[in-house]
Amino acid sequence: MAETIFALSSGRPPAAISVIRVSGPRAHEGGARIAGSLPEARSAAVRELRHPASGEMLDQGLVLRFDSPASSTGEDVVEFQCHGGRAVVDALLAALGSIEGLRPAEPGEFTRRAFENGRIDLTEAEGLADLIEAETESQRKAALAMAEGGLRKQIDQWQARLLGLSAEAERAIDYDEDDLATDPTLARESAKLAAELRDWLIRPRIEPLKDGLRVVIAGPPNVGKSSLINAIAGSDRAIVTDIPGTTRDHIEVPLSLGGVPILLTDTAGLREAQDEVEAIGVARAAALAERADVLVWVGEPDAALGHPRMIKVHSKADVPGRGRAPTGSVPVSSVTGEGITPLLEQIGELATTLLPLAGTIALNRRQAERIGEAAEALEMAAAAPECVLLAEGLRQARNAFDRLTGRAGVEDVLDALFGRFCLGK
Amino acid sequence: MFDVLVIGAGHAGCEAAAAAARRGARVGLLTFRAEDAGQMSCNPSIGGVGKGHLVREVDVFDGLMARAADRSAIHRRMLNRSKGPAVWGPRVQADRQLYRRAIGELVESNGVELVIAEALRMLVRRGRVVGVETSEGVVPCRALVIATGTFLDARMFVGEEVVEGGRQGERAALALAEQIRDIGLGQGRLKTGTPPRLDGRTIDWARLAEQPSDLEPWSMSALDDGGRPPQVRCAITRTNARTHGIIRANFDRSPLFAGAIEGRGPRYCPSIEDKVKRFAERDAHQIFLEPEGLGDHLVYPNGISTSLPVDVQREFVRSIHGLQNAEIVRSGYAVEYEFVDPRRLNATLEVRDLRGLFLAGQINGTTGYEEAAAQGLVAGLNAAARALTLDEVRFDRRTSYIGVMIDDLTLQGVTEPYRMMTARAEFRLSLRADNATTRLGGAALKAACVSERRRTYIEKHLDQRSSSAWAESEEGRADALYSPYIQRQQREWQAVHRDSQVRIPHALDFRTIPGLSNEMVERLRSTQPETLDQASRIPGVTPAALSALYVAAIRRTAA
């Protein structure tokens, strides 16, 4: 039986309203545990939304019920329309996740279910083929087109070499008249190809170019992180007050820095949280800082988190007594604008080391995973004690490439296709 | 009235007849001449890399080939000894006479009745085979296995000479060929060839490198009778630049290049003129000099099959080291023959559109005794099932080379003679010659086609797998060696399994699936895949077509 899945189906909060959808055989049961009771099918009702275990009220919102098969996915569906704050949405998602038998949806999973249950008509191959086609079309139009074409050529070339090695290994097994355990040339060539793939894997990835580099501002509460982000963004996107812990959740500001896309993120101040909501924010801030491409630390230099690409900021440089910055920290004043430009320059410098060089080919994560598998299989081949294991390593590498190009496993193809959708669509 | 009638007493036919009989069918084996049973028409060897795996698998079902090979083996070699147990290839050279005698005895002891006659035509009533009209009258049957090898409308070529007939001195089954063509089964022509046979007394053995028989006492069959004929020595020699020069100068006299032969030959075991032409950069090719029998002076020079004229054959043979004075007893020749499209067969080798008709062996486009025998087993077991309403016996490509071959043939068809190679088996590490009983023992017991002795052996073997001594056995050691790699394979295996769970409804009209090009529709219609996994292995079917098919199949099943 299908599992029951849930996800945020509307855009990223903050927003006026967020829509959370639950689909699957246990959707009604799960929905009722949050909302108390569900309305008639195909109608909406206002309900208090509570955590099923603690009973804590999370929000008041609109609940809609749909019965299988007359729903968007063809399964039983419950939809919550709640307030669009991040904390509310996260709390609701966490509440749903706490219910047994419910799990977060994979990207594209709603669409996929709708598709498999015949509820949407994008189907029928033509549509599918169009979609696949559309992907390459739009990418061709995108600035990355050249790089993509180049990658295909590169993959073709790797595959051709791999096929040549495989053919030679198979010939050695099925036709070689001299009974040799392994072929040193084959092992050497396999190692060479593996090393080449590894070289590619350490290159900058394509994601930062598409999604922007994640530059995260972190530090203890009330050191002026939000002021800094406002000064940088030149807008009042972040809420700035004097109360410590005001920024309970992170705020993202997309910027362009000399043509480099950057997602500047302000986070909650790192300290012992005073309440549950702040605790979530603090935990998230720590996680964000860890995953950041570049970390901007605002606070005492000695207290800084560990990060390979960090810029330390001496904030509030305009305040009397804070005129002198410790060595290695950039003095910045959000009030006077002092130090903002040097800071941005430093961010820009660090950022470019993470981006693919213009005109070069970059891999995305999925591609990198498959190529990593191929490299691993090739390394196994190179170290194999006997010919049949060498050939097996080469075969597994070929299989990784087949899955990379969509040659193998129809399920994989569809996963790749639906994986392109955003979560919850 | 026979339950099962088999036409042709070659490797496929004998195996088919005996297998059907072991399942309890009354079986007739129809052949031109009694002495044809078990004839090795080409090289006198059984087994090899990939082929040896097939022989061991047939043996698990109490087939004939392994036991006949053991009884007639005059030279044994485990090929690929140093390349890993997964690809060890047990191979024996057999004394022709002893082999034929062994097969004759085994066929008889399986209770098969010989019918000496020429098959003229099949009798079909209401879409079902009911018998065969022969030169000696009508022979009725419930199921029919045609295993006529190269005999369907075969032509032999020696240089510019062309002779009708599948083997030297034998007739081609013309009438039957026509009928098979009439019901739309014929596909095209393939060719195969043999080398000239030499008089061993005229070979200068002293000057040649010797290839001794293995000392370890391994056997082809798990049920080794122990009897061993004396072992002989083989020798190795090579062609040289002068040999190649002679061959090259006579290209225009070869029917291959002069255009007389249209059929495609095996890429993997080409004639010497093919090798010289295609591998122009190589200045030597290896030749194994294999004695044909203990009481026989004939020597089979493995590696120089040819259809060049007799005078050219003599000239190039004598240019070879050790063969300066060699006499040719029988010239080499090429055979061109008709084959059917195996994609018209089920995995049981039954013709999809004609109930009760099974095809096995070279007629399905394969080459080699072992490939033929394995198909014979499949056709025989299932012909008995058809005649006696027993369970079908199907083979899976994940657990046997037989399964790999049947799947390849019935799904992909052939464009050149199909020969078994270990490279064809993606689960090669699990499909070893040493673990055939483990892999197929259960299926053999279920098919109820084995002797009491075999049953005991299989049960004991399966029991031993859980004993502490297992790790020390040859099979146990190989299991341990490969287990980490096989675990890595599990993920792929699961993906295949998932796709094989997606069944394509029988009534699905591929033309109604939007987005499928006519070409894809044609490929799918000619193959009729039963599952998505099968569809994914049809050559030329694109990922986009598979997605469309997947969607259609899922919807149809859900509806």
Digit-coded pLDDT (tens) for B376-406:
999 999 999 999 999 999 999 889 999 999 9
Task: Provide, as residue numbers in chain A, all residues whose Cβ is less than 8 Å from the Cβ of B81.
Answer: 179
pLDDT score of A255 more than 80: no
Q: What is the dihedral of CA B411, B499, A394, A381, to 10 degrees?
A: -140
- CATH class of the domain whose range is B2-191+336-444: alpha beta
Task: Provide, as residue numbers in chain B, all residues whose Cβ is less than 8 Å from the Cβ of A395.
Answer: 426
More confident residue, B164 or A61: A61
A425 assigned to some structural domain? no
Question: Which pair of tokens denotes residue B306?
Answer: 């040819």
- Which range is most confident: A47-56, B34-43, B281-290, B501-510? A47-56
pLDDT score of B17 more than 90: yes
Residues A268 and A380 reside in one and the same domain = no
* B302 in reach of chain A (CB within 8 A): no
Mean pLDDT of chain B: 87
A126 assigned to some structural domain? no
Residues A299 and A175 reside in one and the same domain = no
CB A154 within 8 A of CB A130: no
Q: For position A246, what pLDDT does the model report?
A: 47
A186 assigned to some structural domain? yes
CA B313 – CA B334 distance, rounded (Å): 13
Confidence tier at A409 by pLDDT (50, 70, 90): very low
A390 assigned to some structural domain? yes
Q: Rounded to a whole number, what is the distance in Å from the CA of A131 to chain B's nearest CA?
A: 10
A124 assigned to some structural domain? no
* B21 in reach of chain A (CB within 8 A): no
pLDDT 10s digits, B354-365 = 999 999 999 999
Q: How far is CA B51 from CA A42, B432, B559, in A?
A: 65, 11, 45
Query: How far is C-alpha B87 from the geometric centre of its chain's CA atoms?
Result: 18
Question: CATH no. for residue A345?
Answer: 3.40.50.300
Q: Which of residues 515-534 of B touch A (CB under 8 A)?
A: 515-516, 532
Average pLDDT over residues A215-238: 76
Of B375, B357, B353, B379, nearest to B366 by C-alpha is B375
Residues A343 and A377 reside in one and the same domain = no
* B498 in reach of chain A (CB within 8 A): yes
CB contact under 8 A, B548 and A125: yes
A424 assigned to some structural domain? no
pLDDT score of A132 more than 60: no
Task: Provide, as residue numbers in chain B, all residues whose Cβ is less than 8 Å from the Cβ of A386.
Answer: 82-84
Residues A295 and A232 reside in one and the same domain = yes
Question: CATH no. for residue A110?
Answer: 3.30.1360.120
pLDDT 10s digits, A194-206 = 999 999 888 877 6
Residues A215 and A201 reside in one and the same domain = no
A399 → chain B, closest CA residue: B492
Strand-pairing partners, residue A57, are A50
A64 assigned to some structural domain? yes
Residues A229 and A340 reside in one and the same domain = yes
B492 → chain A, closest CA residue: A399
Q: For position A360, what pLDDT does the model report?
A: 65
CATH of B502-558, one of 1.10.150.570, 1.20.1730.10, 3.40.50.2300, 3.40.50.1860: 1.10.150.570
A389 → chain B, closest CA residue: B84
How many residues in chain A? 425
CB contact under 8 A, B499 and A129: no
Residues A217 and A277 reside in one and the same domain = yes
CB contact under 8 A, B515 and A175: no
Q: What percent of chain A has a predicted confidence (pLDDT) above 90? A: 23
**3-class SS at B46?**
strand
Residues A311 and A174 reside in one and the same domain = no
* B544 in reach of chain A (CB within 8 A): yes
B513 → chain A, closest CA residue: A124
Q: For position A289, what pLDDT does the model report?
A: 81
CB B106 within 8 A of CB B121: no
CATH 2.40.30.260 describes domain B197-332: yes
Question: Which pair of tokens denotes residue A352?
Answer: 């470019």
CB B122 within 8 A of CB B132: yes
Q: For position B255, what pLDDT does the model report?
A: 72
Question: CATH no. for residue A185?
Answer: 1.20.120.430
Residues 6+ apart with CB under 8 A from A381: A186, A187, A190, A389, A390, A391, A392, A393, A394, A397
Confidence tier at B261 by pLDDT (50, 70, 90): low
Helices A225-233 and A340-354, axial angle in degrees (round to 10): 80
Q: For position A143, what pLDDT does the model report?
A: 36
Residues A403 and A368 reside in one and the same domain = yes
Q: Where are the domains of chain B?
A: 2-191+336-444, 197-332, 502-558
Residues A264 and A340 reside in one and the same domain = yes
More confident residue, A236 or A348: A348
Show the domain range for A333. Answer: 209-354
CA B504 – CA A248 distance, rounded (Å): 54
CA B547 – CA B542 distance, rounded (Å): 9
Average pLDDT over residues B260-271: 63
In B389-465, alpha helices (H): 401-407, 436-447, 452-464
CB contact under 8 A, B429 and A392: yes
Of B120, B136, B321, nearest to B238 by C-alpha is B321
More confident residue, A156 or B482: B482
Of B449, B378, B437, nearest to B407 by C-alpha is B378
Average pLDDT over residues A333-360: 79
Of B351, B356, B353, B354, nearest to B388 by C-alpha is B356
CA B213 – CA B232 distance, rounded (Å): 7
Q: Which of A127, A386, A413 is the closest to B83 by Cβ? A: A386
Residues A255 and A318 reside in one and the same domain = yes
Residue B326 DSSP class: P
Q: Rounded to a whole number, what is the distance in Å from the CA of A116 to chain B's nearest CA?
A: 7
CB contact under 8 A, A170 and B423: yes
Q: Chain A residues with CB-CB distance to B under 8 A?
A: 115-118, 123-129, 132, 170, 172-175, 177, 179-181, 386-389, 391-392, 395-396, 399, 406-414, 417
CA B143 – CA B128 distance, rounded (Å): 9
Q: What is the 3-state secondary structure (H, E, C) of chain A?
A: CCCEEEEECCCCCCCCEEEEEEECCCHHHHHHHHHCCCCCCCCEEEEEEECCCCCCEEEEEEEEEECCCCCCCCCCEEEEEEECCHHHHHHHHHHHHCCCCEEECCCCHHHHHHHHCCCCCCCCCHHHHHHHHHHHHHHHHCCCHHHHHHHHHHHHHHHHHHHHHHHHHHHHHHCCCCCCCCCHHHHHHHHHHHHHHHHHHCCCCCHHHHHCEEEEEECCCCCCHHHHHHHHHCCCCCCCCCCCCCCCCCEEEEEEECCEEEEEEECCCCCCCCCHHHHHHHHHHHHHHHHCCEEEEECCHHHCCCCCCEEEEECCCCCCCCCCCCCCEEECCCCCCCCHHHHHHHHHHHHHHHCCCCCCCCCCHHHHHHHHHHHHHHHHHHCCCCHHHHHHHHHHHHHHHHHHHCCCCHHHHHHHHHCCCCCCC
Question: What number is the ipTM of this complex?
Answer: 0.78
- Interface-testing mutation among B77, B83, B87, with chain A (most A C-beta atoms within 10 A): B83
CB contact under 8 A, B516 and A409: no
pLDDT score of A130 more than 60: no
A122 assigned to some structural domain? no
Q: For position A203, what pLDDT does the model report?
A: 81
CA A1 – CA A36 distance, rounded (Å): 25
Q: Which helix (H) or strand (E) holds B74?
A: strand B73-79
Residues A337 and A366 reside in one and the same domain = no
Q: How far is CA A242 from CA A219, A247, A314, in A?
A: 15, 11, 18
Of B291, B2, B336, B294, nearest to B138 by C-alpha is B2
Question: Which pair of tokens denotes residue B431?
Answer: 């499909």
Strand-pairing partners, residue B128, are B125, B355
Q: How far is CA B222 from CA A136, A193, A232, A317, B245, in A?
A: 57, 43, 80, 88, 47
CA B44 – CA B375 distance, rounded (Å): 20
Tally the domains of chain A.
3
Confidence tier at A16 by pLDDT (50, 70, 90): confident
